Structures are given as C-alpha cells and as structure tokens.
Chains A and B, each alone.
Chain A
Amino acid sequence: MARELFRLDPRTTLLLVAVLNVVMFSAGFAAGAGVARMIFMTIPTVLAVGLGRWLAALGYTTLVWLAFSFETWSLDVWWLGGLNLILAGLASLVARLAPGIFMAYIAVISIRVGELMAGLAAIHLPRLVIIPAAVILRFLPTVREESASVQTAMSARGLSLTRVGPLAWLEYRLIPLIMSTLRCGEELSQAALTRGLGRPVRTHRIARIGMRPVDVLTLGAMVTGIGVWIVG
C-alpha cells in the first residue's frame, strides 16, 4: 500500500468528479476555458500524489498534457489536412476523457466505504441511495479481481479469443464473472444484514469525515477554475 500524504473528504471528491466532467465537456477553446481546463487537469495529479500514487500521477499527467497541447496546437495547423483532423479529434477525446476517468479512479481508490456512507448521510441522502452507492464502491474492485481470475481460469483451459471466436469468448468471460460476483454479493448481503444494516434506526458513524485544509484548497482551486472559465 502506498503511503498517503493527504486525502479529501468523500463529499469533496464526489463534487470534484461531477464538476470536473462538466468543465471538460462544456469548456470550449477560448482563453479562459483553456485555463480552466488546465486547472482541472492538474487537480487529479495533485490528489494522486497525495495518495502516494506517484507512478499513476506521472503517467496520467504526461498523457493528458501531451493530448491537450496537441489539441490546442493542431487547431492552428491547417496544412496537415484530413490527417490533422483525425489526430486532433483523437487528442481532443483523450484530453477531455482522461481527467474524468482518472478522477473516477482516484475516487474509487481513495474513498473508504464507511466514509462514503457517513458522508452521504451527512448530506441527508436517503438510504435508497446510500446503500447501493456503498455496494458499488465496494464492488468495483471486486469485479476487477474476479475478471482477472476468470481470465486466468480460461487461459488455463486454453480458451483464448483466437481459438473459440469472439461470441463464445464473451460468453466464457461474462457468465462466470456474473456468477462469481453474484456469489460475493450474496455473502455481502448476509454479512451486512447480520450486522444490522437493515435496521430502521439511525446508526453511529465511526468514520471521521469533515473539511480539512486540503478540502478548502481543492474547493478554492475549483472555484478559481470556474471563475476563469466564466469571466474569460
């Protein structure tokens, strides 16, 4: 486990996921919008470093800045013609998608289930939303692990994509994945109900959540980014 330097409140993280995507997809090419995008591209880098994920931070930062520079620059280069359009489109797609995906990844690895439940309860969401949200956060890594196990099992049987064809391959990957995930789900249900998740009473939370200096700084950066976008 990487060593953590700092971590955000779950509510700040979720707000950031939402706002970042809005900016990435709505900001155009004007000067202010460009600066806003640069600010929001940088925030996930800082958070990844805070979580001690140096390598991920480096990879993401390199990719997104390369794509962003190419997108901006290629708009001024007309002599490449059709090829330019394809490359610019690709760069634009990467530059706009990568920050959102990376931020979602950060949210999944940084938010703990207990903190998420405490955070969502603190903003008065109903249990209709809180329980599925906690299950989703808990299960995203599980599905990934199960998928890797299915992959191993299938290659041990020599069932590769080239050998069985795409349709059978999909069936052999998908069905076991669904089965094993559901089995995990059944167990989780039992465990959670046994521990009293289904009770209609208000529970005490032991997860510590709340605004810390990093949250204030992050919110400040977000407000600045949006401000520059609107003014510019």
Chain B
Amino acid sequence: MKLSITTKDLINVGIFTVLYLVVVGVFGQLGALIPILQVLGPFYIPVLAGVVFMLFLTRVNKFGLVTLLGILVSLLVLATGQSYWVAVLAVFLSPLADLIFKLGGYKRWANTVLGYLVFSQMLIGTVVPLFFARESFLAKIGSRHDAAWVRALVDLTPNWMFAVMIGELALGAVVGAYVGRALLRKHFERAGIV
C-alpha cells in the first residue's frame, strides 16, 4: 500500500500544527504562572494535547504526516523563543513516532499510545536550558557570592528533576491518549466528524 501525500493532507497538517501549538503553548502556559504547575507542566500538557493528537491520527493513514507535524511544531516553538533542543529532538522523535504508528497501521491502540508517548518527549526540549543555562548562570555568580548561598540555589532545582519531568511526560502522554480517545468518542464521533 503506497499512498502519496496529497494537498489535502498537507492542509490538515497545517491546521493540526496550529491546534497542537495553541493547546501546548496557550493552554499549557496558563499554568506556568503558578510555580507548582510549572513542575507539573510536563504531565498535564500532553494530557491536554491528547485530544488534538488523537483527532489528527484519525486523519492520517500514511507515513510522513506525523513527522511533518512534529518538525513544524518544533520550528514554531523555536520561533516563540524556546530552546532549539525541541527541534533537535523533533528531528529524531517524530519519525520514530511515525514509524510506530505505521507499524500499527495507524489504527492499533497499543501503537497509538506508544507513538504518542515518544512524540511527546520532544517537549522536554523546552526545559533543557532551565537545567543547562543554570550552569553558566551559576559559574557567573559563583565568583561573587559565597559558596553556601550558591548551594542553596542548587538545592532548589536539583538535576534529578529533569528525569522526573521525562517520566511526567511519559505518564501524561499515556493519560492524554486515553483522555483524547474518550473525548473523541464523546464529542466527535457523535457529531460525525471522525
């Protein structure tokens, strides 16, 4: 089964890129104002984006569209002042997710969940500078402040938080896939859109 990508597919990719971005960027950022939600962000953002992504998958039946979506999203995330790490990760993760979906024929539920989990991991790129730029920041202020003060700062944002966030993204993606499917059934199938 060799299907070529049509113009309609490309328009769809464009629309879903915007929707995904709005959910991740706008709805996701609502919580960024409250510190505790910032730590929980990696969990609830893929949950929210789940419905958009599941809906997108109902319109995908060929390789390349998920890859394109991932790369376009990452480029736009880049344009809103986020780290280039998102784009670096997207180049590897979105084709991988695409392949997982393809192996399940863009239908099988296990592949859908796993693929969305892989796809969502590119969002970890947004917090890479938080852990990375901190090093240069510490080096800079370390020369002026006493060691105890700098230590206190390090304790506030430990390195293991990065691993926790990756775990949160994975968990969030699985929950997001299920929530997305439930919402799809509740709203879109009934309305005849899917």
A residues at B contact (CB < 8 Å): 17-18, 21-22, 24-25, 28-29, 75, 78, 81-82, 85, 96-101, 103-104, 107, 127-129, 131-136, 138-140, 143, 147, 170-171, 173-175, 177-179, 181-182, 185, 188-189, 192-193, 197-198
Residue contact A85 to B79, C-beta cutoff 8 Å: no
Given the contacts A170-B27, A171-B183, A132 and B81 also touching, CB distance less than 8 Å: no
Question: 8 extra interchain contacts, Cβ-Cβ under 8 A, other than A143-B18, A192-B11?
Answer: A17-B79, A25-B81, A75-B140, A129-B68, A171-B183, A175-B187, A189-B12, A193-B7
Residue contact A181 to B17, C-beta cutoff 8 Å: no
Residue contact B10 to A128, C-beta cutoff 8 Å: yes
Interface presence of B5 (CB below 8 A)? yes
B 52-75 contacts with A by CB, 8 A: 52, 55, 64, 68, 72
B 149-170 contacts with A by CB, 8 A: 149, 152-153
Given the contacts A131-B7, A131-B10, A189-B8, A21 and B81 also touching, CB distance less than 8 Å: yes
Question: Which listed residue, B7, B51, B52, touches A192 by the CB 8 Å rule?
Answer: B7
Contacts of A97 in B (CB 8 A): 81
* Whole-angstrom distance between the Cβ of B151 and the nearest chain A Cβ: 13
Interface presence of B142 (CB below 8 A)? no
Question: Which listed residue, B23, B152, B191, touches A179 by the CB 8 Å rule?
Answer: B191
With the chains together, A136 CA to B79 CA distance in Å? Answer: 13
Residue contact A28 to B136, C-beta cutoff 8 Å: yes
* Interface residues on chain B, number (Cβ under 8 Å): 45
* Whole-angstrom distance between the Cβ of A58 and the nearest chain B Cβ: 20
Residue contact A136 to B10, C-beta cutoff 8 Å: no
Contact sample, A vs B, 26 pairs, CB 8 Å cutoff: A21-B79, A25-B81, A25-B83, A28-B136, A29-B140, A75-B141, A75-B144, A81-B149, A85-B153, A96-B81, A127-B7, A128-B5, A133-B72, A135-B17, A135-B18, A136-B18, A136-B72, A136-B76, A139-B14, A147-B22, A170-B48, A171-B183, A173-B27, A182-B55, A185-B12, A189-B8
Contacts of B52 in A (CB 8 A): 178
